[in-house]
Amino acid sequence: MDKPLVDPFQRAIRYLRLSVTDRCDFRCVYCMSENMTFLPKKELLTLEELDRLCSAFIRLGVEKLRITGGEPLVRRDILTFFRAMSRHLESGALKELTLTTNGSQLERFAGDLAAAGVRRVNVSLDTLDEAKFARITRWGRLPQVLRGLDAAQKAGLRVKLNAVALKGFNEDELLPMTRFCAERGMDLTWIEVMPMGDIGNEDRLGQYWSLDDLRTQLARHYTLQDLPDDTGGPARYLRLAETGQRIGLITPLSHNFCESCNRVRITCTGEIYTCLGQEGHSDLRGPLRGSDADGPLEDAIRAAIALKPRGHDFDYSRQAVDGRVTRHMSHTGG
- In order along its 334 residues, the chain shows pLDDT tens digits of 567 899 998 999 999 999 999 999 999 888 888 888 889 988 999 999 999 999 999 999 999 999 999 999 999 999 999 999 999 999 999 999 999 999 999 999 999 999 999 999 999 999 999 999 999 999 899 999 999 999 999 999 999 999 999 999 999 999 999 999 999 999 999 998 866 445 444 555 567 888 999 999 999 999 999 999 876 567 899 999 999 999 999 987 655 556 668 889 999 999 999 887 677 899 999 999 999 999 999 999 999 999 998 765 544 444 444 445 554 555 566 5
Q: Does 212 reside within a domain?
A: yes
Q: Does 8 reside within a domain?
A: no
Query: How many C-beta atoms lie closer than 10 Å to residue 311's C-beta?
Result: 16
Q: How many helices (H) and strands (E) does the chain have?
A: 11, 12
Instruction: Determine the Cα–Cα distance for residues 3 and 106; give it in Å rounded to an integer.
Output: 38
Q: How many domains does the chain have?
A: 1
Q: How far apart are the first and last CA of the chain?
A: 29
Instruction: Determine the Cα–Cα distance for residues 105 and 26; give it in Å rounded to an integer.
Output: 12
CB 107 within 8 A of CB 151: yes
Q: Does 195 reside within a domain?
A: yes
Q: Does 172 reside within a domain?
A: yes
Element (H, E) at 159: strand 158-165
pLDDT digits (tens, 9 = 90+) for 212-250: 999 999 999 999 999 998 765 678 999 999 999 999 999
Nearest to 106 by CA among 65, 159, 60: 159
- Tell me the binding residues for [4Fe-4S] cluster: 24, 28, 31, 258, 261, 275
- Tell me the binding residues for S-adenosyl-L-methionine: 30, 70, 124, 194
- Tell me the binding residues: 17, 24, 28, 30-31, 66, 70, 100, 124, 160, 194, 258, 261, 263-265, 275
pLDDT digits (tens, 9 = 90+) for 306-320: 999 876 554 444 444
Instruction: Determine the Cα–Cα distance for residues 298 and 226; give it in Å rounded to an integer.
Output: 39
The parent domain of residue 161 ranges over 16-332
CB under 8 A, 24+ apart: contacts of 136-139: 136/28, 136/29, 136/166, 136/169, 137/26, 137/27, 137/28, 137/29, 137/102, 138/26, 138/27, 138/28, 138/29, 138/34, 139/25, 139/26, 139/27
Q: Which pLDDT score is estimated for 36? A: 84
- Tell me the binding residues for GTP: 17, 66, 100, 160, 263-265
CB 195 within 8 A of CB 324: yes
Instruction: Determine the Cα–Cα distance for residues 334 and 314; give it in Å rounded to an integer.
Output: 16
Q: Does 105 reside within a domain?
A: yes
Nearest to 174 by CA among 219, 130, 226, 214: 214
Q: Which pLDDT score is estimated for 111? A: 98
> Residue 324 maps to which CATH number?
3.20.20.70
Instruction: Determine the Cα–Cα distance for residues 178 and 201; give it in Å rounded to an integer.
Output: 30
Instruction: Determine the Cα–Cα distance for residues 281 and 278; give it in Å rounded to an integer.
Output: 8
Which residues make Cβ contacts (< 8 Å) with residue 293, sequence separation at least 6?
none
Written as one letter, the residue type at 190 is W
CB 98 within 8 A of CB 135: no
Q: Does 11 reside within a domain?
A: no
CB 333 within 8 A of CB 69: yes
- 112 burial class (0-12, 13-18, 19+ CB within 10 angstroms)? middle
Instruction: Determine the Cα–Cα distance for residues 84 and 249; give it in Å rounded to an integer.
Output: 33
C-alpha distance from residue 304 to each of 59, 96, 147, 300 (Å): 16, 23, 41, 6
